[in-house]
Amino acid sequence: MSDLPPIEYAFPDISRWEKGDAPFIHVFDSGVPGPTVMVASLTHGNEVSGAVVVDALLDRGLRPRRGTLIFSFNNFEAYQRFDPKNPFKSRMVDEDFNRTWGRLDRPATTLETRRAQVVKPYVERAHFLLDLHSMHDDCVPLMLCGPLERGMELARRLGAPADIVRDRGHAAGMRMRDYGAFGDPGSDRTALLIETGQHWRASSVTVAKDVTWRFLVETGIADPADLPADWKQPAPGRQRVVQVTQAVATKRGNFTPVRRFEGQEVIAKAGTVLGHDDGEPVATPYDDCVLVMPAVNRPLRAGVTVVRLGRLV
């Protein structure tokens, strides 16, 4: 019997969207003054909920009321290699597309860096970017808003999901949502990264549709009547913000958790041991410590982040 998570929804055939302004990138200019808004999917090839959304909006013929709208299927080549018998492998082909953005001034030597060079000018045009992701493990949806105040403010205006995470990205490489003006405190350009839930849960598609609906309306690129009415879900009772303070990485892939942990779980007491890495205890550094996207419930490679630790703010 397979231990792989079930695939609960149909994957779209995106081949019909290959021909655009660039391969698998479509740009629509309203001719009316307004922002440039980009919705990106398949930054990782096995994170498909966003591709369902972009495919549906292209199929619907959505056009911006004002400004310019950009849709992209980022790592389409990894997606096209998806194998349900080995579904995690198609996250990427050569390397993580979403860790290349700090070195795009260097020669492109991998499929992902070559593709990032193609996507880059569209990202640079965007005043607002929504990057649609999902997660390896079952977890509540998370909006990663970056370290700047304007990202948190936009996430609050969307009103969903319930959990907003402020962080400074990954030591392994710059993400697309942190690239260029999006990470500049002096700019007003703003990017959000939504983690919709486990990759292949039907609920992840529901979250991706809801957040995209809210994003397109909030940025003014579309009116509610332009979008499917059943995409918008009831807002959570309240949102909470978690400030990531540190990441815990396993030295050699030998981290052993003391028990199974849930995403966004709050550990009440400082000093609570979460597990052992090479035999050394790893404990919470403060009271009410939030475990952001723990990866402790599956095998890990050396250097991989086990969990990010955060405070409620």
**Can you give the residue ranges of every domain in the chain?**
14-231, 240-312
- Domain 14-231 shares a fold with domain 240-312: no
φ/ψ of 14, rounded to 5, equals -90, 5
Mean pLDDT (whole number) for 79-88: 93
Matching CATH number, 14-231, of 1.10.150.120, 3.20.20.140, 3.40.640.10, 3.40.630.10: 3.40.630.10
What pTM does this model have? 0.95
1 falls in which pLDDT band (50, 70, 90)? very low
DSSP type of residue 202: H
Q: Within 10 Å of residue 52's Cβ, how many Cβ atoms?
A: 20
Residue 160 and residue 236 in contact, taking contact as beta carbons nearer than 8 Å: yes
Lowest mean pLDDT: which of 28-37, 74-83, 166-175? 166-175
> What residue has token string 């292209």?
58
Cis peptide before 161 (omega within 30 of 0): yes
State how far Cα 103 lies from the chain centre.
20
Higher pLDDT, 15 or 172: 15
Q: Which CATH number applies to 240-312: 3.20.20.80, 2.60.40.10, 2.40.50.100, 3.40.50.1820?
A: 2.40.50.100
The residue-averaged pLDDT of 107-122 equals 97
